[in-house]
Chain A
Amino acid sequence: DQQVKQNSPSLSVQEGRISILNCDYTNSMFDYFLWYKKYPAEGPTFLISISSIKDKNEDGRFTVFLNKSAKHLSLHIVPSQPGDSAVYFCAASGSDYKLSFGAGTTVTVRA
């Protein structure tokens, strides 16, 4: 039973443009949401997070938006850079700190 879904397996974007990654979840008990970035042969690296009491969190080029009523979050990367090419995982957690991940979205930034 997959509780976190990333419905777009891949995304291709021009360098300098905005990348928008989407994530949906089903468990209303989730109260903390994270995005991880993963390069080949490496482990996931924490990128940005948001708690359920907020609807937006920004860190440099990365902004995460949370819509609790729709059980939807998104990650915006602007401007996109070649080094942003990676697999991005959405993850969610409740009070037990156990992370539920989506299947990932592979982002390719074209020069």
Chain B
Amino acid sequence: EAGVTQFPSHSVIEKGQTVTLRCDPISGHDNLYWYRRVMGKEIKFLLHFVKESKQDESGMPNNRFLAERTGGTYSTLKVQPAELEDSGVYFCASSQGVLYGYTFGSGTRLTVV
């Protein structure tokens, strides 16, 4: 079974540019989550999809961040325009609904310069 795949693994962009991160969850997993770890601090929740619907987006920092999950399969997280404080590692995770079945991807390391 393939795991959670994230692309790209690294991205370096200039302040003001746009970046789109992609996450392919484990096939059949209805629940998809985005998390972010900034500057070696705690991993923080961004949002939760159930299929194509946003179940909880209370962790999204501001309206420069837009997440989509068309068709309930892969998800994208767009940052537009990027700011310096957006730098960090963005993790995606998926599950079939039970909490201990949460599987994380390897993350996308975003650096805004």
Contacts and interface: CB of A to CB of B under 8 A. Distances in A.
Contacts of A45: 104
Interface in A45-69: 45-46, 49
B106 interface: yes
Contacts of A4: 42
Nearest to B89: A43
Given A32-B99, A34-B99, A49-B99, A103 B40 contact: yes
Nearest to A45: B104
A64 B43 CA distance: 20
Contacts of B102: 46, 99
A101 B91 contact: no
Contacts of A41: 9, 106
B100 A34 contact: yes
Chain A's interface: helix, strand, loop or mixed, by majority? strand
A93 interface: yes
A44 B100 CA distance: 12
Contacts of B99: 32, 34, 49, 93, 97
Interface in B37-67: 40-45, 48, 56, 58-59
A101 B106 contact: no
B100 A103 contact: no
Interface of A: 2, 4, 32, 34, 36, 41-46, 49, 89, 91, 93, 96-104
19 contacts: A2-B42, A4-B42, A32-B99, A34-B100, A42-B107, A46-B103, A89-B42, A89-B43, A91-B43, A97-B48, A98-B56, A98-B58, A98-B59, A99-B33, A99-B45, A99-B102, A101-B42, A101-B43, A103-B40
